[in-house]
Amino acid sequence: MTAALVTPSSDGLTAARERSRELRRPKPRRNITAHIFLVALILYFLLPLWWLFVASTKDPQGLFTGTGGALWFDKNFSLWANLQELFTYKGGIYLRWLGNSALYSLVGGVGATVLAVLAGYGFAKYRFKGRDFSFAILLGSVMVPLTALVIPTFMLMSQLHLTNTIWAVILPSLLSPFGVYLMRVYAADAIPDELLDAARVDGSGEFRTFLRVGLPLMRPAVVTVLLLSVVGTWNNYFLPLAVLSDQNLYPVTVGLGGWQALAASNNGGGTSLYTLIVVGSLVSIIPLIIAFLSLQKYWQGGLSLGALK
């Protein structure tokens, strides 16, 4: 998604380009086919979300033996009761999970972005021995599956006395090889060497040059990498599952996964967890959808201008 969207326009003809886009309206017949196609896509991609919303309004009996069918409401509308139960169950642990997710993804996302911006700028704007080799290692590292890392990472965290702390989740999430790749490609293109040289001639130090000249030019890519890293950390499941054992530290994905396991086990106890899982899933995806709604606006604006330089 980032890709071309952060590509700086090299021709500066964006306005003209937009005008010419407006001019070449497709023929109406094709328009109808295209719109039918789009409606089909919308139905397909939103169907599970619609189900999730409908299911969230049902009480346990409605969920299991309801009359409305899978895709329509039951006679009892208990969304509010479900939400209340969700936010109060086990002393409101769900809210805590949601807060943990926010904390991990913001700290991890911001940290990963800072590291990626610095490294991407370094790779793009400096020549040094071993640069291409280390960059190749960086890209190659994504080919080894992460399951290989769980035990060594756990041992490492144990040595540092970090298992079962927020750092066990945040520190590894600072790694974003793709972020570095993206920043390098973008910086190489968006920051003219002449500008950097001019700054240096004016006596600006290297880091100051980066802050004053490089960083502002990289801003669109920075926002994109930030969002990517935030989403990546928010959706993370197996790392926190492996390194956390205190459920007060769980992010919401691991917490819900735990409820699912509990609900499916022979030790269910007296509460119906399925309604909580369903309504908890619904609430947990809202923050990211809001973030993406705003991101979508950003794209619409950014893309129609050709670039955000």
Contacts to another protein from residues 78-117, by CB under 8 A: 90-92, 95-96, 98-100, 102-103, 106, 114-116
Q: How far is CA 225 from CA 71, 189, 278, in A?
A: 37, 16, 31
Q: Is residue 217 part of the contact set for another protein (CB under 8 A)?
A: no
Token representation of residue 98: 């949601």
Closest approach of Cβ 203 to another protein, in Å? 14
Q: How far is CA 295 from CA 10, 224, 232, 236, 298, in A?
A: 23, 9, 15, 20, 5
Region 240-269 residues binding another protein, contact defined as CB under 8 A: 241-242, 244-249, 253, 256-258, 260-269
Q: Is residue 195 part of the contact set for another protein (CB under 8 A)?
A: no
The C-alpha atoms of residue 169 and residue 222 are separated, in whole angstroms, by 22
Q: Cβ contacts of residue 226 below 8 Å, gap of 6+?
A: 109, 110, 113
Q: Is residue 32 part of the contact set for another protein (CB under 8 A)?
A: no
Q: Which of 32, 140, 198, 208 binds another protein (CB under 8 A)?
A: 140
Instruction: Please check whether residue 224 is in contact with residue 113, taking contact to mean a CB–CB distance below 8 angstroms.
Output: no
Q: Which of 28, 75, 80, 152 binds another protein (CB under 8 A)?
A: 152
Closest approach of Cβ 49 to another protein, in Å? 7
The C-alpha atoms of residue 41 and residue 53 are separated, in whole angstroms, by 19
Q: Which of 32, 41, 198, 211 binds another protein (CB under 8 A)?
A: 41
Q: Is residue 208 part of the contact set for another protein (CB under 8 A)?
A: no
Instruction: Please check whether residue 279 is in contact with residue 60, taking contact to mean a CB–CB distance below 8 angstroms.
Output: no
- Three-state DSSP class for 79? helix
DSSP conformational letter for 264:
T
The amino acid that residue 101 corresponds to is S
Region 44-83 residues binding another protein, contact defined as CB under 8 A: 44-49, 51-52, 55, 60-61, 63-65, 69-71
Q: Is residue 166 part of the contact set for another protein (CB under 8 A)?
A: no
Q: Which of 15, 32, 136, 142 binds another protein (CB under 8 A)?
A: 142
Closest approach of Cβ 202 to another protein, in Å? 15
Q: Which of 3, 15, 136, 198 binds another protein (CB under 8 A)?
A: 3
